[in-house]
Amino acid sequence: MLFGALFASYILIRTGAPSWPRGDTILNVPLATFNTLVLISSSVTMVMAWASLMRHRFGTFRIYMGATILLGFVFLVVKYFEYSHKFHDGLFPSTNNFLAIYFTLTGLHMLHVAGGMAVNAYFLGPGAKLWKTNPEWFTNRVEHSGLFWHFVDLVWIFLFPTLYLL
């Protein structure tokens, strides 16, 4: 809903603007492509973590879950470099409409990534206790945190072409 409203705002602002820059004239496409691949990979490791639990392989789960969190972290680090580079060049959300919507959408998305990482970290750390007492519940909880993570991936899949390539 939140992202849907912002996407709608983006369309309105863009169609209403007399001119609109192509994303790749301002933004760094190779970095964003790399980030897309990172996020897709993290979605795969997430689903593999869940599949490991379904096979009752807790050790494999820990590896995949760790990889998921690590990939999320890589995503955030790359995003940090992108942001700081923009700020360094004097490009701020207040500079123009394109940058305003860019920072709003990607910033909000980053918050979702951070939130998903926090939940995943909980299931890798303290939350993993549940595996010993009730593996079924634990598996289902990991599946649900996975659903959120895939949703974050899904949003990025649309954000990437919209902001960077068009």
Partner 1 sequence: MASTTTDHAADIDRHVKVYITVFVALMVLTIVTVAISAVHLPVPIAVTVALLVATIKGSLVACYFMHLISEKKLILWVLAADRRVLHRPAGASRHHAQQRLLDSLMNLRSVHALLILLSAILAVLFGVWCLGQYGRGNGVANLLAAVTAFALSAGLLVYDSWFLRKTRTAAMTSPSASSATRGRARPTASSVSWVDRPAVVGESGGTDRSGLPGLLRGRGGPR
User: What residue ranges bind partner 1 (CB under 8 A)?
Assistant: 24, 29, 33, 36-37, 40-41, 43-44, 46-48, 51, 53-56, 135-137, 139-141, 144, 146-147, 150-151, 153-154, 157-158, 160-162, 164-166
Distance in Å, CB of 90 to partner 1, minimum: 26
At 89 the three-state DSSP class reads: coil
Distance in Å, CB of 30 to partner 1, minimum: 9
C-beta separation of 85 from 104 below 8 A: no
| CB closer to partner 1 out of 93 and 127 | 127
At position 68, the amino acid (one-letter code) is: T
Distance in Å, CB of 52 to partner 1, minimum: 9
Residue 19 backbone dihedrals phi, psi, to 5 degrees = -145, 155
C-beta separation of 72 from 120 below 8 A: yes
| CB closer to partner 1 out of 44 and 121 | 44
Angle at 25 between CA 21 and CA 30, to 5 degrees: 135
Between CA 67 and CA 129 the distance in angstroms is 20
Distance in Å, CB of 94 to partner 1, minimum: 26
| CB closer to partner 1 out of 66 and 93 | 66
Radius of gyration in angstroms for the set of CA atoms belonging to the chain, rounded to a whole number: 18
- Paired tokens of 104: 């709003």
| CB closer to partner 1 out of 87 and 161 | 161
| CB closer to partner 1 out of 24 and 100 | 24
Between CA 88 and CA 120 the distance in angstroms is 33
